[in-house]
Structure 1
């Protein structure tokens, strides 16, 4: 009898992956393809929609072929995606009218600055801030800067979608124009309290309702792949934005559960149950997941560059050849090495939200070398995470431990330094593909392959726990210097 499995599509910022998971959460087949990043102007970041589709499709075909060869039966598809990245396409052709504008893109900073009088309304309804990070101003920019786009939208010919919506459209042959609540809530157009697109916000951002997808639960019937797409038609049953999918994959189902994912950026989400906890410290109140019409909320802190710091070391200034070199380099220095990197490569996210910030290095001497740069790049991620958890604590939400995942946490030195700086236990699961796994779990719930959360949690296993070892005085000294560096960077950005 064939093994029953779920195909998880994980469409990220730098690559598209497909992983076939067994029901106990083990990867059985996989494929991954990177794609190009485009930087047409300072602060602009774009992806080619066709490259996104082609790499995703190729990864799926390869993973499915491997599954078939092993006698595995894929019965459902889950999708997780880079959030906020914005696409607008022509419904008649399925072709995007402009490149995908990536979540990191800062081109609409002036638009956001001009709307600050509406900040309270936006925060109250969406739980978000006014920032180029979110999708609404990206949609408006495309409609205003692509010739004839607004007329096409008014005629009902255009569709907007985050990456999940675009992939579902392609996979279903244009039959499904849908998203889920976790992606909808990242647009600045979705009211997280009544679970719907908000007419007042649509008017504020000048986005026509006709371009928007329908919003479904995170475990739902999103459509079935078209006849010609794969070797058989497969239902799409789970969708969640990447960070919410990671929260789900880490089994953070209880109020107070905290996870932090270290991919291109870093995102810490703390489950707040059925309470949409407002933040006084510029964190985001967001949808963790929506199941059977019931919304579970989370408090989120977003760091724009985490793994991207290491990519910069490798591809930008070329001080390392492969990412794993950073651990040995970091271990070669003492805590008082003196170099600090504030990685504002795409502005600074929570709790500062300064789109004009740029990366700054402090404390360099003639003796500064590759090791200092590598360690500063890793340490910056930990310091920024400490800023997020401090803000959460001030908002009345705290946790005694944090589950971590993402490519960076394979680095033991990073995990230990993170525990030292946060002064809480850092837990690394055996299965670190939490984002893809979360999408698979959602699909499995809808298919009835899991009866409840407890059955899913039963598959979770701890790889290693890191307990804080750093002296209080050392931690305090490092965090104080970090804050001086951050404030200096912000002062320069605002000068």
Structure 2
């Protein structure tokens, strides 16, 4: 019948009471935004391809300026598709690929280099060297001896710890060793470090908020999930100053608001979460023993281990799933990083 309004038109003409939430996911392949109403229905969406750069064999980077433009664009496009206004948004939650990082000038906000992706292999020789080093052998032996006397789960896990290229840790060491501009900034305490969530939060708040959450921090290889803080042992071992690392907050937290200049209104930022932990939560894997398998750019198998970290072997490692108030959910995870590449290769045969 003529005169009837479509759903977006109806929403646009409803009283401007707030009631919609933005869910942003910055993945390894795409960046997408969904607009959810109070019933958790998707009202509008937008997606763009993440433009990975390959400046050298084995190197994988993302241009932060391009990512920022895409981030802002998908939000505007999704809100437009939903037929609502920005002042109807009551919250923004951000899920991101993990362990991809950047460093930037604390005073100017300018980045020193592109994002170094979790898929990047530039630190592979550092990883091999450290894992085979005498220092690591001494570290493992010391932890085993101490575990024998204390039966500490933390020391048992430390005795099995190895570096990988997926972790942020040695890729950050590579940057510190090879970019004199970053070295100088660190010495002058004028350097900020962050994974994608931290950098986006910093950009969205025009530099007023600098933080990460427990799920993202726990995937860097620099975090102690038993003490729920950055690891003094690991950072001391590889000479990364603790002062370089951002404060760690709850996954669901008041992270401040988006600066009004960006979207015309301040939008509360209410959650930061790593993508695999986000998928675990989204699949309602809330009970101890629940299992989630994600097959995307990589394959990730996660097991909910409740509120305690388990002594893990056989390729599993402990992570923080999320922290909401007093609730801490722990995971055991194993992964294979090249699933998406293998599938694309098979499709081209």
Q: Pick the TM interval, shorter chain.
A: 0.7 to 0.9
Q: Verify the 8 A CA contact 2:185 2:191 in the aligned structure 1.
A: yes
Task: Tell me the secondary structure at the aligned position of residue 294 of structure 2.
Answer: strand
User: Aligned residue for 1:28?
Assistant: 43
User: Aligned residue for 1:229?
Assistant: 262
Q: Verify the 8 A CA contact 2:257 2:269 in the aligned structure 1.
A: yes
Q: 1:149 to 1:139 in 2, by over 3 A?
A: same
Shift of 1:95: 2.1
User: Aligned residue for 1:133?
Assistant: 166
Cα distance in 1 between the residues matched to 2:264 and 2:302: 37
Give the 4+ runs in structure 1 shifted more than 6 A.
none
Task: Tell me the secondary structure at the aligned position of residue 167 of structure 1.
Answer: helix
Q: Within 5 Å, which residues of 2 pair with 1:165-204?
A: 165-204=198-237
Segments of structure 2 that go 5 or more residues without pairing to the other structure are 1-14, 144-154
Segments of structure 1 that go 5 or more residues without pairing to the other structure are 320-369, 371-495
Task: Tell me the secondary structure at the aligned position of residue 299 of structure 1.
Answer: strand
Q: How big is each residue's C-alpha offset from its partner over 1:157-200, in whole Å with a ceiling of 9 and x where there is no partner?
A: 11111100011010010111100000001111111011111222
Q: 1:173 to 1:291 in 2, by over 3 A?
A: same
Q: Does 1:289 align with 2:318?
A: no
Shift of 1:245: 0.3
Q: How big is each residue's C-alpha offset from its partner over 1:270-310, in whole Å with a ceiling of 9 and x where there is no partner?
A: 10101211222021111111121432111111121223333
User: Aligned residue for 1:38?
Assistant: 53
Q: How big is each residue's C-alpha offset from its partner over 1:398-456, in whole Å with a ceiling of 9 and x where there is no partner?
A: xxxxxxxxxxxxxxxxxxxxxxxxxxxxxxxxxxxxxxxxxxxxxxxxxxxxxxxxxxx
Cα distance in 2 between the residues matched to 1:76 and 1:310: 36
Cα distance in 1 between the residues matched to 2:156 and 2:59: 25
Cα distance in 2 between the residues matched to 1:293 and 1:157: 34
Q: TM-score, normalised by structure 2?
A: 0.84
Q: 1:127 to 1:50 in 2, by over 3 A?
A: farther
Q: TM-score, normalised by structure 1?
A: 0.60
Task: Tell me the secondary structure at the aligned position of residue 332 of structure 2.
Answer: strand
Cα distance in 1 between the residues matched to 2:116 and 2:213: 20
User: Aligned residue for 2:274?
Assistant: 241
Task: Tell me the secondary structure at the aligned position of residue 172 of structure 2.
Answer: helix
Q: Does 1:88 align with 2:73?
A: no
Shift of 1:212: 1.1
User: Aligned residue for 2:27?
Assistant: 12
Q: How big is each residue's C-alpha offset from its partner over 1:320-351, in whole Å with a ceiling of 9 and x where there is no partner?
A: xxxxxxxxxxxxxxxxxxxxxxxxxxxxxxxx
Shift of 1:128: 5.8
Q: 1:128 to 1:312 in 2, by over 3 A?
A: farther
Shift of 1:248: 0.5
Q: 1:152 to 1:123 in 2, by over 3 A?
A: farther
Q: Verify the 8 A CA contact 1:67 1:73 in the aligned structure 2.
A: no
Cα distance in 2 between the residues matched to 1:112 and 1:47: 22
Q: 1:93 to 1:65 in 2, by over 3 A?
A: farther
User: Aligned residue for 2:116?
Assistant: 101
